Structure 1
Amino acid sequence: MFQVARRRPLLRRRIGKPSSAGGIVTPPYPSPGPRILPICTSSAEGSDVDDLASEISTLLSSTANWTAAMVATDVPRRLSPAAVSVVLRQRDRGRPVDPKRLLDFFYWSASQIDAPHALESFAALAVTLCDSALFAHANCLLERMIKTYSSPSAVLDSVSRRFADGSRSDPAVFSVLVDTYKKMGMLKEAVQVALLMKGSTFAPSLRCCHALLKDLLRTNSMDLFWKVHDFVSTQLNPNVYTYTITMEAYCKDGNVDAAKNVFLEMEKKGCPPSAVTYNTLISGFCKVGALEDAFRLKDAMVKKGLVADDYTYGILINGLCKNHRSQEARKLLDEMLVVGIKPAIVVYSSLIDGFVRESNFLEAFRLKDEMVTKGVRPNMYTYNSLIRGACKARNIDKARELLGEMARMGWKPDIWTYNTIIEGYSKVCDSQEAFRFLDEMKKQNVLPNLYTYSLMINGFCARGESKLAESLLMEMLATGLEPNAVIYSTLIAGQCREGRTIEACQTLDKMVDGNVHPDTFCYNSLIVGLCKAGHLDDANKYFTQMQVRGLSPNIFTYAALIDGHGKSGDMLGADELFQRMVAQGIKPNNEIFTAIIDGYCKSDNISKAFFTFHSMLGNGLLPDIQMYTVFIHSLSKSGKILEAFQVFSELEEKGLFPDVYTYSSLISGLCKSGDIAKAVELHDEMFAKGIEPNIVTYNSLIDGFCKSGDIEGARKYFKSALEKGLMPTSVTYTTMIDGNCKAGKTSEAFLLYNEMLSRGILPDKFVYSTLVSGCCKAGDMERALHFFNEMLPKGFATVHTFNTLIDAFCKVGNPNEATKLLQVMLDKEVMPNNATYITLIDGYAKAEDLEAASTLFKEMIANGILPDEMTYQLMIQIYCKGGNLDEALKLHHAIIAEGRQMSSAAYVELVNSLCKTNNISKALTLLDEMAEKGVTPSYSQCMMLICSLDAEGLPDEANQFLNIMQSNNWVPEYASVSSLTDGGLHVPNVEIAR
């Protein structure tokens, strides 16, 4: 059946017998510690000790209440370790004392003497106890002995001498000694004691050695295991258990061939394998995926007359499930039931887990129902597997249902359960529920572990909520958990995606300070983010730092840096990096090639782009057609359509055949440049050549038609893609929804949204934003809020989304509802910007609620958002209109102090208000300031100021203003106060000025 391979020697020899003289053969080993000799005394002292020992022995053997008898004499005062030792060694001198009484005396005497008992006393009593089969008492005594004397060699030496002193000593004392070390958790010392007996006339029993081997195997102390194995092979005769545990050790190491050889050898030596032996080897086969060998062994087992039990079936079913063969495992379960073996919970749980791993959730739940009907109660492992399956299928409601059922069955969720649920909510982008479960597990005293926080941080970063991820990182550190490089890398990548590169750099620095070593992936995340943000100096700094730390940049590192340098116009730096990468043996990919060509195209260095292209083409870095396609794609993307067609012509002249990617690149470029007719012509050409357009081709055409406002044309190609059996992507639906919304066809957009969902395509941030914007544009605020409430828990709501809704509510005259959204923004830590506040301020101004507008402006300043010129000017007009001239003038000073320019409308509003308060000199100063700063009011604004002064009954001041206006050429020289006021504009109209 199997071939025999060389292996460790098996257990062969018995131990030797005692010598005829009854003495002990000196062990052939050097003692690791100093030999502890028997207690020596002078002759006079020895006589006194012997007398005392004789007196104590008499009291112990003849007096029932020996303790009281001794206390009544001077024995306690005269007691010494030497006297106790003599008493304990008198067992073979005609004065037998009950061993239990000797043990009581030993413990009592310890309380009477300041010094510890002699090592020989412990040893003599231990031997005596074992001779009387009082093994439990011997075990307790030896434990005390080991705690008192730490040297295993000294302890063994002492016990061996006392064992040799007795004519009827029981060698079980050596097994008890090894067991004591083992029970105290001192496995290394237990092995040392056992090995020190090698070559002597005494040794631990085979049972003792088996127990030691089992513990060594359990604790994965394989070096010690094989040392004891070698000891047993030279000292004792193996039995079926010895062979079985040896096979188990080989299987644990994954060395199934050696285990097979042991199995064959034991049969040769006439030691028939037991059912446990067969199960051990079957389990080993299953662990390494050798399932056919496992099944052959099961058949051989049955032929030998042994019965395959529930354990045999269980390990085979588990093996099949682990190897994604759950349907076969199901058949084996049916076989169990046929032969009358009731499957245990572990069998059902293995099968359920197997079906979940293979995403066969229906069968997993069917099996759970079956086990319940057969009276098998699901356990924690069963429920955890089913919850994982429900979460994997994104059926969180089912997972919650199972959680409730689990609680009713008396099982409390563990860390694994909570982590699975949290991961499930992360997958469906529901951060609120994920946080709720994090709080729940803490309340249930289930402490979150590294994986819990890793899931949460990854989920938040994926949804653009890196600030929440940062707070979780701080919580981790506060609880004493040390984040690893993966968690830090995830956070850095999330911060970079949100443009928070300063925080990302701080995170990496914090990581290094915490003695967590960043890996290449971590540096890549930061370098990619810095390059995208245009911070090339910082990116280059970390590029150097990673190499100083001994990390090698990979293709992703170079791709980010080359792209970053290219986009910044530093093609010299990009080319230098490219050459360095190639010199390191890293072959460039499409992305890097595109970045180089894109860089030259964007810097209008087309000749260099062509030179680089032909150079790379000559070096054969990529297949020819692939190189041409990438170059055409780069030119088309950069708007160099004529050049792209030149390369296309060169491609055809060389006899190369353009593929769908080549045509799609050209069509995309044409659509972006607005040449839809040419794009359609190219589409028809590729079709005529037998090149089937793919969904990317159709996406470009649909986008082109939508951007040109031809929604019908877009719908035509969308329908065409479906008719050709192409599956629309998220990009397809997003483009169509956006096009319909912009065309005011929101009902069509909703139909497309529902169709998208029915196809299992999850809407992204852009789809939701488009729908919200479309609903706001159509005035359908109810539906806009519906989509907004859907995107909010998913973390998709951005400042742009909030601003769109705020603007819509303000336009319909409902600034109060808009302000509620501002509070939601702050609660969700979405920072409002200038646009948010100016929209709200303008909304309240139009609603004549100037106090609310002023409050919002102050709140804006308090939140650290600096107003722009438009905000300042709007507030000046609001303050003037509300009669708060002092605040308006303060804003005017602030604008001038910051070196900003005020608009003519703001100046006119201030001048008009000053005139109304009869502050003509200040008004004239502002008119001069306008002239100095080159701010020219319109004719209407000038006319409004003159009319205002005339209406106030200030004709002289009106003439003064007119002279300044005429001198600055704001009004014609022939104009007069009467001509400007004759138009009937005696009442100032502020709205005209605005």
Structure 2
Amino acid sequence: MIPQQKRVPHLSVLLFLPKTPKKPSSPLNKSMKLLRQISANRQSLLAAIGRRHFAVSADEYAKRNYANNVSEYNTVIGSITSQRRNWLLRDVYDDMMLDGVRPEKDTFRALIAGSMKGVRLQDCFFFRDEMKSMGLIPDVVLYNFMISTCGKCKNSAEATRIFEEMKKLEVKPNGQTFICLINACAASGRVDQVYAIIRDMTAAGLGLNKFCYAGLIAAHKNKTPLAEDTSAKILELVEQSKGWSSIEQTRDSAENVMMGITEEELYNIPTANYVHRRGGFVLRFLTVYHVAFHACADLKDVQAVDTLQEMLKKDNRTPDVFILMHIMRCYLNCGDIDRGLKVFEEYMSSGSPAVPELYATLIEGAMTGYTAKGMEIALDKLKEMLSRNFNLNPATGNALLLVASGEKTGGYTIANMVWDLMQARNIVPSLAACQAYHNGLKEREIPEDDPRLMLVSRTLDNLRGRYGRTPTNFGGRR
């Protein structure tokens, strides 16, 4: 006779228990009893089912398992984040739970930081909730990461809710918290809210720095509907920013430095992806100018860009590569190919090192309007870029393919060339770029059995199956 146990035994034992005769009972009683058993033994049953090693030997389990304790899992999380495979963080966390490894505060910090880098807002909330369910209260650094992620997703309402949650939990905000909130609201064009936060900062005795002015510029640029005096406001803010004291400038916190998070990334500054580049690509003391040139290029305001260059010259400053990129972008997007090309040639003749981003900016901008002159310059510079052994990366390749695919006349030379270069480097195109290229091929008199068209069609079908039917439906946890 097998004695009764209060806990559900291991799943392997459950499979081989002998059947014992029981007294008949009604279906209702059976259902109620089953519900009580599930409720009482849920944790034990999940633990029994969740053991990944119950059906394999110890040696086989050791081969399959990539981490055994919290320290090893922290290392894996850091590695995944550095590889930009942030969508795997939830899977790693699930494996920790199945292994019975309890995450520490540093584990959640790494998970939320990785989710911020991957712009995965729902993952940030998930890890925040898991952390609180284990009795761990997020600190100010984690809240800063979450507010920053809201800014990357242009969700100012959620950023404000997180800030209010900090107050309820008595987590004291610091200067970085306010600047994260400023730039999160700025991304949504909430100008009034940005000014309200700045008033709260000054009331708390905190001075403004360059990142606050960067947020103000971004807020005016992102406001909808756009004000008629937006460019004038941007120029005024650039002038005002020259009065901020070096004593008031923020510093990268020790935690952020250890995680490789710069202030530019935390505050969603346009230079975030370039600050680690050497050779004068980004001069970090020109942050306000960076944001201003970026904004005016988006607005296609040539006059404002010219005024900014004069202001920069009066300050005895030389534009860095990032600023030159956006000066070129503004001219080219307004159809002034000659001025854009002149900026590029002056840089190349200065003896400064060639930069692939400048080539990409010129090639993409020259295709604006798909004029014969522009397409010829774009093709020449693409060939010149390749002759310097500058290979396409995924971001540049997809950007050029998307623009080149819009050509309605001509031989479709640049689009075909970019596609071939991406295939040679095994770069998977984005759904939007592949769709545009496929549409362009279909508009031309190409046989259905053409090898290129067949390859593009197969690639497009695979991308649709992976991401969904529309370019904006990328699925995943967001």
Give the TM-score range, shorter chain: 0.5 to 0.7
Q: Is the 8 A contact 1:562 1:575 kept in 2?
A: no
Distance 1:495 1:681, change over 3 A: closer
Q: Give, in angstroms, the shift of residue 538 of structure 1.
A: 1.9
Say yes or no: does 1:774 pair with 2:456. no
Q: Given residue 362 of structure 2, which amino acid in structure 1 is its aligned partner? A: L
Q: Give, in angstroms, the shift of residue 670 of structure 1.
A: 2.8
The aligned residue for residue 701 of structure 1 is 362
Say yes or no: does 1:723 pair with 2:362. no
Distance 1:460 1:643, change over 3 A: closer
Q: Residue 801 of structure 1 is aligned with which of 463, 472, 475?
A: 472
For residue 439 of structure 1, give the secondary structure of its aligned residue in structure 2: helix
Q: Is the 8 A contact 1:639 1:673 kept in 2?
A: yes
**CA distance, structure 2, for counterparts of residue 629 and residue 436 of structure 1:** 38
Q: Give, in angstroms, the shift of residue 511 of structure 1.
A: 1.4
Distance 1:753 1:778, change over 3 A: same
Say yes or no: does 1:407 pair with 2:407. no
State how 1:438-837 maps to structure 2 within 5 Å. Answer: 438-565=93-220, 569=229, 575=236, 579=240, 582=243, 584=245, 639-641=300-302, 667-680=328-341, 683=344, 694-709=355-370, 711=375, 713-724=377-388, 732-743=396-407, 748-755=417-424, 767-775=430-438, 778=441, 780-787=456-463, 800-802=471-473, 825=475, 828=476
Q: Deviations over 1:638-668 (max 9, x none)?
A: 545478679989999xx99999788766543
Distance 1:588 1:454, change over 3 A: closer
**CA distance, structure 2, for counterparts of residue 798 and residue 503 of structure 1:** 28
Q: Give, in angstroms, the shift of residue 445 of structure 1.
A: 1.6
Q: Give, in angstroms, the shift of residue 731 of structure 1.
A: 5.5
**CA distance, structure 1, for counterparts of residue 126 and residue 199 of structure 2:** 30
Distance 1:422 1:786, change over 3 A: farther
Q: Give, in angstroms, the shift of residue 564 of structure 1.
A: 2.7
For residue 742 of structure 1, give the secondary structure of its aligned residue in structure 2: coil
**CA distance, structure 2, for counterparts of residue 554 and residue 693 of structure 1:** 33
**CA distance, structure 2, for counterparts of residue 648 and residue 458 of structure 1:** 36
State how 1:163-312 maps to structure 2 within 5 Å. Answer: none
**CA distance, structure 2, for counterparts of residue 686 and residue 513 of structure 1:** 53
**CA distance, structure 2, for counterparts of residue 628 and residue 458 of structure 1:** 28
Q: Is the 8 A contact 2:217 2:291 kept in 1?
A: no
Distance 1:481 1:785, change over 3 A: farther
Q: Given residue 335 of structure 2, which amino acid in structure 1 is its aligned partner? A: G
Is there any run of 5+ residues in structure 2 with no aligned partner, and where? 1-57, 224-228, 251-284, 443-455
Q: Give, in angstroms, the shift of residue 702 of structure 1.
A: 0.2
Q: Given residue 501 of structure 1, which amino acid in structure 2 is its aligned partner? A: S
Distance 1:437 1:696, change over 3 A: closer
Q: Is the 8 A contact 1:772 1:801 kept in 2?
A: no
Q: Give, in angstroms, the shift of residue 496 of structure 1.
A: 1.8
**CA distance, structure 1, for counterparts of residue 338 and residue 101 of structure 2:** 64
Distance 1:489 1:692, change over 3 A: closer
Say yes or no: does 1:424 pair with 2:82. no
**CA distance, structure 2, for counterparts of residue 470 and residue 630 of structure 1:** 29
Distance 1:524 1:730, change over 3 A: farther
Q: Given residue 513 of structure 1, which amino acid in structure 2 is its aligned partner? A: K
Q: Deviations over 1:15-38 (max 9, x none)?
A: xxxxxxxxxxxxxxxxxxxxxxxx
**CA distance, structure 1, for counterparts of residue 90 and residue 74 of structure 2:** 11
**CA distance, structure 2, for counterparts of residue 489 and residue 658 of structure 1:** 31
Q: Is the 8 A contact 2:213 2:241 kept in 1?
A: no
Q: Is the 8 A contact 1:555 1:586 kept in 2?
A: no
**CA distance, structure 2, for counterparts of residue 525 and residue 629 of structure 1:** 18
Q: Deviations over 1:882-921 (max 9, x none)?
A: xxxxxxxxxxxxxxxxxxxxxxxxxxxxxxxxxxxxxxxx
For residue 472 of structure 2, give the secondary structure of its aligned residue in structure 1: helix
Q: Give, in angstroms, the shift of residue 450 of structure 1.
A: 1.7
Q: Given residue 770 of structure 1, which amino acid in structure 2 is its aligned partner? A: A
TM-score (norm 1): 0.31
Q: Is the 8 A contact 2:156 2:184 kept in 1?
A: yes
Q: Is the 8 A contact 2:150 2:156 kept in 1?
A: yes
For residue 770 of structure 1, give the secondary structure of its aligned residue in structure 2: helix
**CA distance, structure 2, for counterparts of residue 530 and residue 757 of structure 1:** 38
TM-score (norm 2): 0.59
Q: Give, in angstroms, the shift of residue 413 of structure 1.
A: 0.3
Q: Deviations over 1:216-242 (max 9, x none)?
A: xxxxxxxxxxxxxxxxxxxxxxxxxxx
Q: Give, in angstroms, the shift of residue 488 of structure 1.
A: 1.2
Q: Deviations over 1:458-502 (max 9, x none)?
A: 333333321232122112211211111121111111112112111
State how 1:365-384 maps to structure 2 within 5 Å. Answer: none
Structure showing greater radius of gyration is 1
For residue 473 of structure 1, give the secondary structure of its aligned residue in structure 2: helix
**CA distance, structure 2, for counterparts of residue 543 and residue 534 of structure 1:** 15
Q: Given residue 538 of structure 1, which amino acid in structure 2 is its aligned partner? A: Q
**CA distance, structure 1, for counterparts of residue 304 and residue 311 of structure 2:** 11
For residue 243 of structure 2, give the secondary structure of its aligned residue in structure 1: helix
Q: Give, in angstroms, the shift of residue 736 of structure 1.
A: 2.5
Q: Is the 8 A contact 1:493 1:525 kept in 2?
A: yes
Q: Deviations over 1:124-157 (max 9, x none)?
A: xxxxxxxxxxxxxxxxxxxxxxxxxxxxxxxxxx
**CA distance, structure 2, for counterparts of residue 638 and residue 419 of structure 1:** 43
Distance 1:538 1:732, change over 3 A: same
Q: Deviations over 1:816-835 (max 9, x none)?
A: xxxxxxxx85xx467xxxxx
- Give aligned pairs, total: 362
The aligned residue for residue 400 of structure 1 is none
Q: Given residue 131 of structure 2, which amino acid in structure 1 is its aligned partner? A: M
Identity of counterpart residues, as a percentage? Answer: 18
Distance 1:451 1:404, change over 3 A: farther
Distance 1:686 1:800, change over 3 A: closer
**CA distance, structure 2, for counterparts of residue 658 and residue 718 of structure 1:** 24
The aligned residue for residue 992 of structure 1 is none
Q: Is the 8 A contact 1:450 1:481 kept in 2?
A: yes
Pick 1 or 2: higher relative contact order, CA cutoff 8 A, min separation 6: 2
Distance 1:430 1:690, change over 3 A: closer
Q: Is the 8 A contact 1:737 1:753 kept in 2?
A: no
Q: Deviations over 1:921-977 (max 9, x none)?
A: xxxxxxxxxxxxxxxxxxxxxxxxxxxxxxxxxxxxxxxxxxxxxxxxxxxxxxxxx
Q: Give, in angstroms, the shift of residue 507 of structure 1.
A: 0.7
